[in-house]
Structure 1
């Protein structure tokens, strides 16, 4: 029977967990990787992009009315647990399942997976800093006055060992409402992560050195064991995306014709908004191809982990304009810890003014501070390439991850 790893991804995180699955398969070709998800629209694209990964579509269950959007991320896997159990049993008849990797949003499936006696790992699609925050949150919850109620009106600083000082309002909004089901899902996820066989995190060691060391040294929750953490990123298809230019036609082709005419490192790429100068591409933008273009000199980003890693991979300095989820926390680390970005500051009404954006763009492109950010992101570009090279931190972490369940008898907790 084939040795198999199951990967269970939410539709929201398929774009990260698919390349992770491909990377695992490439690193150990004798292992069969089966990717389970409810992302129907992405199934054909996933199969075309990664023929070595067996994509298995799960049905989307009937959803309860009036559910919070974030809560549904957890509710879909919970409602699908009977279907997941049947799928695991079916696959087990033809394969020797060595491990199961579940997305953070698939936490409700943790007990189903572990009931088979199969080593179960979490994949945290954000970085080590966000993982550190999530694992440490039960401790934070117990120390914040009034945490049993609402935290949205608190002006509270959060001190986490090995991390910059965080403000409570920098956290995702779900953390501000302890009585919500979404909050309870996150706390449950944190507790289950501690009981898991290990955690895969979407970063590489040099980019988040202090957070990775703090995780390795068990500082996130004193007295509570932390499972092994494996930094397996960046998942970048460099053979396809490192060349300048792009395929396709229409607006996308016009985009690259325009980029080809610009001086080297003179263009600032924004994911949103309008400017009187430059080019506006409506709809989908081929982000990695744009970032790899030699004319790019800066990137205004929402601070998502995928965009951060892509910009670092191509050595593009950033301006952080977070929108939701963990992006505000990411901005703190990108600016203060990694030093690969400048911050955009919101006005009192929560909006970013045109004057603030212009100020930061000029600072990034033409100041000593901007020069230092460019120098730092160039360092991180080289460190990212080193991480995925032979003997690099990502390759070593992948080897340790495979060895943990493939060659060693697993003493399940």
Structure 2
């Protein structure tokens, strides 16, 4: 029977594509493995086909039906994804048993958001690893969340010292409802007690954070923390990126490194007020730009959303498209010299890989933590400041874009991020830190004994109402 590694991404195309890229990377280091990727599939969701990913026959896909929570279950929108995943545990249990009958199931890799699947893998005694799709620095904060909560309330000092993370004020830390804070502490506890943590980063980018993780100082309750494997940069790019708006054609007519890209991820939607501030700021900056606009309402046209005459006045220097553009291909184009980003980690890695300096505009999740690291630690980005009403003003945006594209500080940032690009290539090359870490992980899996999972009659107790 063939040795098999099972990968279980979280719900959402971005998480699935990232896990697929991990599967491809595993096979480049050990083609003898078989990879099975479990696709969580809630009711009424679009089925993602294997052909979407361009994988060979060594990677197979299996859909895990995710039922809705039982009626009467109190689930907030913020925690819905965690409850949905737990609802799929019964189906996950049977799928893993089925896989074990036809192959040597060596290990399972869980997206860290799928932490409740640990209830199944522990019951079946399957070696369990977590894949953290963001950076090492934000993982340090997540793992240290229990101590952070204590110090936020008990310590009178406004600043917090977190192992592996830059000194940070309490105001800079993301604020979450208590329900989510409890979930994050559960994730931290599960990751602290697993067989290994895989992180999509590389040593040259986050040396201090990685050292703190490897030494165990971010695991406050663990005397024997799990091994950490930093295997990035792994870039997750959806297949078949079509340039429907002809962005790349437009870039061909622009001077080298003259265009700033503004793109904020699939959830980066703005109000009309904020969009108009961005437009005014771009016009005042006098820089060339390519702007991907997502608004709170898809029904409004660009003319409705932007200042009157803006599109005509900027047509020689700017291009504005609705909703989507092939971001990775745009960042790789020679004409692009800057990137205003929401600090999603995949976008950050894309910028690293192409040597593009950034202006940071975090919107949600761990993105503010990424901003702190990019600006304070790595010094490869500038920070945008919001006003008291939560709006980034036209003046602030225009000044930061101009500073990035046309100042000595901008040039210094560009030089540092170009060094990051070289370091990322070296990390993934033979003998590099990520290459060595991936081989170490592969060897650990190869040494695992064949698993004999429990019989189908093993009682399982999954509490969907927790």
TM-score of the superposed pair, with normalisation by structure 2: 0.80
Q: In the alignment, what sits opposite 1:226?
A: 225
Count of aligned positions:
394
Q: In the alignment, what sits opposite 1:203?
A: 201
Q: Which has the higher contact order (CA 8 A, sep 6+)?
A: 2
Distance 1:144-1:377 versus aligned 2 partners, 3 A rule: same
* CA offset digits 1:14-72 (Å, max 9, x no partner): 12211111111222110011111225536216654223421111112113566222311
Q: Is the 8 A contact 2:2 2:103 kept in 1?
A: yes
* CA offset digits 1:323-351 (Å, max 9, x no partner): 00000111000101111110001111111
Q: In the alignment, what sits opposite 2:161?
A: 159
Q: In the alignment, what sits opposite 1:56?
A: 62
Q: For 2:217 and 2:25, how far apart are their aligned partners in 1?
A: 29
Distance 1:226-1:220 versus aligned 2 partners, 3 A rule: same
Q: For 1:223 and 1:75, how far apart are their aligned partners in 2?
A: 26
Shift of residue 232, structure 1, vs aligned partner: 1.3
Query: Is residue 388 from structure 1 mapped to residue 428 from structure 2 by the alignment?
Result: yes
Distance 1:250-1:127 versus aligned 2 partners, 3 A rule: closer
Query: Is residue 170 from structure 1 mapped to residue 149 from structure 2 by the alignment?
Result: no
SS in 1 for 2:65: coil
Query: Is residue 122 from structure 1 mapped to residue 130 from structure 2 by the alignment?
Result: yes
Q: For 1:169 and 1:66, how far apart are their aligned partners in 2?
A: 30
SS in 2 for 1:257: helix
Task: Let me know the Cα RMSD of the aligned residues.
Answer: 2.4
Query: Is residue 22 from structure 1 mapped to residue 24 from structure 2 by the alignment?
Result: yes
Unaligned segments of structure 1, at least 5 residues = 148-153
Shift of residue 145, structure 1, vs aligned partner: 1.9
Query: Is residue 71 from structure 1 mapped to residue 70 from structure 2 by the alignment?
Result: no
Q: In the alignment, what sits opposite 1:3?
A: 3
Shift of residue 237, structure 1, vs aligned partner: 7.5
SS in 2 for 1:204: coil
Q: For 2:332 and 2:7, how far apart are their aligned partners in 1?
A: 30
In our comparison, the structure showing a higher alpha carbon Rg is 2
Shift of residue 163, structure 1, vs aligned partner: 1.8
Distance 1:237-1:100 versus aligned 2 partners, 3 A rule: closer
Q: In the alignment, what sits opposite 1:151?
A: none
* CA offset digits 1:250-289 (Å, max 9, x no partner): 41xx211110000000000001554543001112210100
- Aligned pair partner of 1:257 in 239, 242, 249: 249
Unaligned segments of structure 2, at least 5 residues = 265-274, 283-309, 451-466
